A and B are shown apart, each in its own frame.
Chain A
């Protein structure tokens, strides 16, 4: 909807979600009365949004109870797990750094950070590195080192 004065796709989206103030809502509603292109656009928007699946996890009281029990068990081990995750994160970051050095034997340091370096920096900043992920990564690194 880019034709015509007052036609604004983003405004229609906000109108759909009732995210405009009262005056703007009235203004868009008035515009819709006179603009068939916008009415068509509004209807299509509703159709598009209705076509997007909204999954609902099934209710399972046994699983729900198990989850609570698991959290309660982990809660008692919480500080160790926390330290472990940070230790693992550092190990993974180190291993990744070694791997990237192996991939790039040429010494000249780039002026701007490469995308791989940027990736590693982002990884270092992420504050939730799961142990399983780390193990998986390290195993693959070891395999790659062994292979090459």
Chain B
């Protein structure tokens, strides 16, 4: 794997020095277990976090992250290092998560499944403000819950684009590369996603 000479994704902070990573990849390729374990250890938290945000389930997120690492392992021999391990994992995880979301949607349509309740944290905790009154806290909880529902219902790609931009801090160009989409398509997905949030937010404001 060549040393990474391009900037990493805006939202993907470097968990280790590129030169260290290059050595670990080479060692893992040579069959040294500790090297691959070190790569998993360095990236897993970030990758699970991404998958969790995309799918809303910790268990599913771990499955997806595991699959991404296994794919990395299987790809070691052909890993050219055009991107860093982190960027490669980000890309693979995003695509796996989108596949998962689409599959879930299809399953619900075919089998009339109701998806299990999201394991997302209590929305109140995410907007916690100790100085807010009980009434304001209640409103904040309601707003956060409704916005969360909008997020969960977005089409898979829209959701991925929005999360990668808003929560992971990737640039639109990086998102286009990660999801293998045209830049214009990414902009359109982001615009549509934000429009959904705007609409919901206006309805919430009107109902208050």
State whether B194 touches A48 (Cβ < 8 A). yes
* Residue of A with least CB distance to B143: A51
Interface of chain A, helix or strand or loop or mixed? helix
State whether B165 touches A17 (Cβ < 8 A). yes
Size category of the binding interface on chain A: 35 or more
Taking A13-B194, A78-B74 as contacts, is the C-beta distance between A52 and B106 under 8 angstroms? no
Q: CA separation between A128 and B71, bound complex, in Å?
A: 11
Encode A42-61 as 1/0 by CB contact (under 8 A) with B: 00110111011111110100
Taking A53-B148, A68-B40, A140-B111 as contacts, is the C-beta distance between A78 and B167 under 8 angstroms? no
Task: Choose one: B33, B36, B66, B67; the contact of A67 (CB below 8 Å).
Answer: B66
Q: CA separation between A35 and B27, bound complex, in Å?
A: 59
Select the stretch in B18-26, B42-50, B80-88 that faces chain A.
B42-50
A14: chain B residues at CB < 8 Å are 172, 187
A53: chain B residues at CB < 8 Å are 120-121, 123, 126-127, 144, 147-148, 151
B157 contacts partner chain A, Cβ-Cβ < 8 Å: no
State whether A44 touches B110 (Cβ < 8 A). no
Taking A19-B172, A126-B102, A126-B103 as contacts, is the C-beta distance between A49 and B194 under 8 angstroms? yes
B167: chain A residues at CB < 8 Å are 54
A24 contacts partner chain B, Cβ-Cβ < 8 Å: no
9 other A-B residue contacts (CB within 8 Å) besides A48-B197, A72-B33, A130-B63: A14-B172, A51-B143, A51-B201, A55-B120, A57-B52, A68-B37, A72-B40, A74-B70, A126-B103
